Amino acid sequence: MKTTIARLFRTVIIPVALLAGAAGCDQDAAARRATVVEVAPAGALDCDAPLVPQNRRDLAIYSARTQGESRTEVFVRAKSDATPHLVYVDPEPGELVRVNADGTRGVYRRYLSPGKFADFTIDLQRAQS
């Protein structure tokens, strides 16, 4: 029994521990690097989940609505900015459903009626559609 545990320790446990350390499996370090940023003040807006462009991880792009209003606003927020930038306002309800890899364009989905919608491209740099 002692030889089995010793062999298991030498052949499995030590190599796995060394591999995990070399791969950087430090959950505490990952938790220290993660930051939570409030997108809008509580109760002010109903925000959709932010979309992060593949090549611009410093941007968060999201749509939001004020409760009781039908219009939808699209915001771009850089990690370094304290406030988000309003880039598009649609008078009808909708949401941002996709952004391209560099964060310059997005696909906005306008809800026309139950089960019917229209998708169109918006320019996230010039605040135009």
Same domain, 57 and 115: yes
* Residue 41 maps to a domain: no
pLDDT digits (tens, 9 = 90+) for 50-65: 999 999 898 999 999 9
Contact (CB, 8 A) for 62 and 96:
yes
**What is the per-residue pLDDT for 74?**
93
Q: What strands lie across the sheet with 46-47, from one edge to the other? A: 46-47, 59-65, 72-78, 85-90
Q: In which domain, by residue range, is 20 found?
A: 2-33
Same domain, 63 and 84: yes
Same domain, 100 and 76: yes
Q: How many domains does the chain have?
A: 2
* Residue 40 maps to a domain: no
Which residues contact residue 109 at a Cβ distance below 8 angstroms, ignoring those fewer than 6 apart?
94, 95, 96, 97, 117, 118, 119
* Residue 128 maps to a domain: no
pLDDT digits (tens, 9 = 90+) for 21-60: 444 444 444 444 444 455 555 457 788 899 999 998 989 9
